[in-house]
Amino acid sequence: MRKWPKGQPLLALTAYDYPLGRILDEAGVDLIHVGDSLGMVVLGMPDTTEVTMADMIRATGAVARGRKRAMISADLPAGSYDTAEACLKNSRELLAAGADAVKPEGGEESRSQWEALGKAGIPWVGHLGMLPQKVREEGGYKRKGKSPDEVKKLIQEAKGMEKAGACAIVLELVDPEASAEITKSVDVPTIGIGAGKGTTGQIRVTHDLLGLTPWFKPGFVKKDLGFAGKIAAMVKGFRKSGSAGLG
């Protein structure tokens, strides 16, 4: 995964299949992320914790077949990197499927895993702040970096990730002021989601932006394209016109 020029904005969006991966690539997105968010927006799961390696490998391969120029990162799903050995094994499988980098969640508690990735020369993206894979443990999606101690810890972890070889760091639901401080403390790009405008770049779940999941809309998605309503209107139109409407 190539180094990102400091100060240059970075746009990252998610994809889980060939058509969307190809569309995003041809549109000029910088980074396509194959997220374990597919559990919620594609597979109908309540959260990301039950996504498997098989799910991630299949989705990564599909996206990679539509990509010509954008970088691809892929999530290591919950339970796939409990040890450094498992982390390396499963990361290599995602790279073989077409990913350029992998993303484990967690700071200090995952240090042995991300240090192992760095030593093995496997490109990886860090993930700090709210950790979706721990949503059940924490009892919800809670904002991080609201106290001085939390900010200090996040900065230390970000610096540790950079030292261990992270090529970027995702900051999810981190207080905007804290996100800006973290971004200034490291040379690798930070990618925010619900973390304010002080990060190097932003990432969003594409299905949220398209409006394909109207039953769940994150607070940081201010406007979507309303595709769910458009699809419903199209189907109703076909129903009114009968089979001729499909011609």
72 bridge partner residues? 32
Neighbouring C-beta atoms of residue 134, cutoff 10 Å: 17
Distance CA 79, CA 52 (A): 8
At 187 the three-state DSSP class reads: coil
What are the φ and ψ backbone dihedral angles of 120, each rounded to 5 degrees? Answer: -85, -5
Name the token pair of 155: 């900065």
Distance CA 144, CA 230 (A): 36
* Catalytically annotated residue among 93, 157, 172, 181: 172
At 198 the three-state DSSP class reads: coil
At 81 the three-state DSSP class reads: coil
Distance CA 16, CA 175 (A): 28
Name the token pair of 220: 């940081």
Q: Are 109 and 81 in contact (CB under 8 A)?
A: no
Q: Among this protein's residues, is 177 annotated catalytic?
A: no
Name the token pair of 42: 């594609």
Distances 7 to 119, 129, 191, 199 between C-alpha atoms, Å: 27, 22, 12, 10
DSSP class of 82: S
Please give the positions annotated as active site.
172
